[in-house]
Amino acid sequence: MGRDFNAHTAALSDTLDISDLCELLQATELAKIEQPSVVATRQNRDASVGGWGRELLDLCCDIGLLILNGRTSSDEPGEFTCLVNGGRSTIDYIVGSLAVWQVATHLEVIIDDTCYCAMGGDSDHRPLRLRLNINCSFVELQHTVVTKKNFLPRFNYDKSKVKEY
């Protein structure tokens, strides 16, 4: 999910730390176990933190989402996404599950002003581009004509094309 969250998160963690969990559960023996680093540390050039940022971070922790900005080699500094009134901030994010992060090969904050102005941009926000490396094959399906009686699109499986699928 990508959008303007209007949330300043700095580089605060959006994942649960096992030491925090151990403290909460008072599990001192468990706290001695070294936590594996599954997810790359997030970077962010914007050092400010706000209420909406804390809300977003809490939401990510609660439901297992990750902020992808600043986690790929193509966005190592955690580039600013918004330029307004001479100020710079990161408030536009792409958020996804661990599975999405694992196939994310490239996240780019498009800095070239001509790019988003050419897209009709009158915005103070820079566009974000996410590339995913997903291994899949595409299946061509036939689409039936939508009528008043059949307002939901239908896709038909063709047994004769089984090898193509």
Q: What is the pLDDT along the chain (165 residues), one digit of tens a residue?
A: 999 999 999 999 998 766 666 666 665 555 555 554 567 889 999 999 999 999 999 999 889 899 999 998 899 899 999 998 889 999 999 999 988 998 999 999 998 755 555 455 568 899 999 999 887 665 565 555 544 454 455 556 777 877 775
The kind and range of the H/E element at 117 are helix 113-118
Q: Residue 103, SS3?
A: helix
pTM exceeds 0.75, yes or no? no
Which two three-digit tokens encode residue 40?
């790359």
Of 29, 108, 43, 31, nearest to 71 by C-alpha is 43
